[in-house]
Amino acid sequence: MTETTGLHVLYTTTAHATGDGRNGHATTDDGRFDLDLRIPKEMGGPGGATNPEQLFAMGYAACFHSALKVVGQRQGLDVDGSEVSASVSIGSLPDGGFGLAVELDVHVPALDAATAGALAADAHQVCPYSNATRGNIEVKLTVV
């Protein structure tokens, strides 16, 4: 990877997909993930294995939670016990393609709803997944 976009690269990972795409197999170079992939039954597939939307949801939830904790600590807020859940939806677009939508449910038990909402909004500006998806897919933040 180059730094032509102004990104100072700190880490790079590589994953490989083989087989029939969504009904195939995926691995990472380091061998930590070695997964069968299947189209979910809800989309007409066989189900029974993970799918790209689940992997994206896990990554986004973890990344956003890290951003929430970093921003909260910088602001001197109590973010102990916080949690983030990411729900990723896939559907068809009017032009015939497919798109994604994400809902992030943020729980920060030590903060009132307004403070937690402001913290979530600030984390949304820092999170790499949020920065990558901004303007491309709908991302809804909900404080629970």
Provide block-wise average pLDDT over 10 residues at a time, the chain (144 residues): 76 96 96 97 96 98 98 98 98 95 98 98 98 96 97
What per-residue string of b and e applies to 84-120 under the rule 16 or more CB within 10 Å gives b? bbbebeeeeeeeeeeebebebbbbbeebeeebbbebb
d(CA 77, CA 72): 5
Prediction pTM value: 0.93
Amino acid 1: pLDDT:
52
Residue 24 has what DSSP assignment? Answer: E
Amino acid 4: pLDDT:
63
Amino acid 6: pLDDT:
86
Domains of the chain in start order, with CATH, are 1-50 (2.20.25.10), 52-143 (3.30.300.20)
